[in-house]
Structure 1
Amino acid sequence: MSASIEKNVTVPRRVAIVGTGVIGCGWAVRALAAGAEVVAYDTDIETARRRLADTIDIAWPSMEKRGLAARADRQNWRVTDDLDDAVAHADLVQENVPEQLELKQEVLSNIDGATPPDTLIGSSTSGIKPTDLAAGCGHAPERIFVAHPFNPVYLLPLVELVGGDATTPETLDAAQAVYRGLGMRPLVVRREIEGHIADRLMEALWREALHLVNDGVATTEEIDAAVVYGAGLRWSLMGTFLTFHLAGGEQGMRHMLEQFGPALKLPWTKLEAPELTNTLIERVVAGCEHQAAGRSIAELEHRRDAFLTDLLALVEQYWPESERLPGRI
């Protein structure tokens, strides 16, 4: 791989983005800010160019505030409808096509056949297991893995790395270094499971939130307020377990489980999602439109990005020294 390496951080010189939806464009911005060249593949070149240019316009002020790599160039990208051209000389290929197993298998098989065996191939899938994704890859399946980011990709640092049956430890080591080079915080999932880690946690909260709306307990705005002004503030620093550890006082988690553990047996939550009836759909949609208060998606994205940029700057001050990454983001 042709790249600069420092303290287990590898900055890729070229990143291939396969699929230019919201996630693909987010990856492209992150790669550009890190100083990489981006070649994006999409069957609709003009639409892809427009989407990518718009995303860069929205995201770049936040990237400048976060700090750009010395080689960062917001113009250092192009779009092609030739997959071989897109991936041939990439250090990292990031696949972002729609969440359909057969489609992803076909695309990944084509990428596998068009790249040297040392090219890293990550899939942005939010739920499919990497062994299933690589089922049709006969060239070098050992370098294929899940690299699941979070929206907006250019700001949120977490990327879940999941290896399949064929994925080698060397691949995951190299992947960690590359994603650190993109300013991310890789989390290696110990074994593959549908939905990985973070999405399974978010889905549990999402299902319970839908039940609360469906049962008339709360509106979408009230539920969001419960997260934003309560648990969400703590989670941004401590997560779930350390938050509950503090809830146990001087004895920590042991006392917390002794005191509140029995409540876990109470029927407070509903694990299965409610049926998405027309009534529930309309309640959720109306609630979200009320919360948006006439603001466009672009306006809400600007607000979100400005907040996340400031929040990251604050939270990073409290990260342990061992968890801080060298470099700009």
Structure 2
Amino acid sequence: MTQQPYLSVRNLSKHFKPAAFSRGAVVKALQDISFDIPRGQVVGLVGESGSGKTTIGRSVLRLIEPTSGQVMLDGVDVTTLSGAQLRRQRRKMQYIFQDPFASLSPRMTIGQVLTEGLDIQGIGTRAERRARAEKALMAVELPVDAFDRYAHEFSGGQRQRIGIARALTLEPDFIVADEPVSALDVSIQAQVINLLRDLQTRLGLTMLFISHDLAVVEYICDTVIVLYLGRIMEMAPAADLYARPSHPYTRALLSAIPSPDPATRPQRQILTGDIPSPANPPSGCVFRTRCPFAIGACAGEVPALREVAPGHLRACIRDDIL
């Protein structure tokens, strides 16, 4: 019997309309995105800036409203919920923000930051809420006396641990981690990534992990989704995708990963030109304007995700470049 995925996203699209009285075009940030995350697994979203990674994460949690599509979380269609129903569902799903300083109010103690969600949800007494917050601090390896201090008293790595603790206080099943280490020094990144990996395993969390760092994604994710201009280019188990990338865009991204051994470094594949504007995407395959294998037919057909190996899908009309 096939296990029902914990998160199932179907045909998710997000279009941003121009501001009132503006002559700008509609920005098609996401187009027809579909994927599943089994319970207890980590799926990574990778791609250049502007590819739609953060928009997916925020749309899934209804931090922004999708234009169309369906998001099923543990069998519940999140896109149909409102008011008290959506508020209750938010106990199961939390967000770790990219910038650990900007996401923490300088006017609130760490204790107030950590218990705010519990207050909104009406969970526990004041003492019970404090106990939960202190438990979350210990889980991210911070002292419980951080409860009465302020964000400016902590380093960047410690502030990100506080952001992780805030996500844990409601004891969620699903977390979106949006570039959780990109704002940190390289020396601190590994510590936070190892902490996230340990928490995910120990607590059985299901996670959507957003990053532009493919080395980090390879380390922490079970499955990887490669995005370009709001569409999925390739999706595969992490080990398979890194060993046998099928899409030209994926190959270009992987070729840019630094390698300590020059002998094992793949030949660098440089993409020409800039990523097009999502307000005016290319017809057909959105990657065709930068693809070294593009042919005339690429302009007239939006490639569907097709299975090229068990569990390995890519969006390309050409079978001769596998």
* TM-score w.r.t. length of structure 1: 0.32
- Structure with bigger helix share is 1
- Of structures 1 and 2, the one scoring higher in RCO (CA 8 A, sep 6+) is 2
* TM-score w.r.t. length of structure 2: 0.32
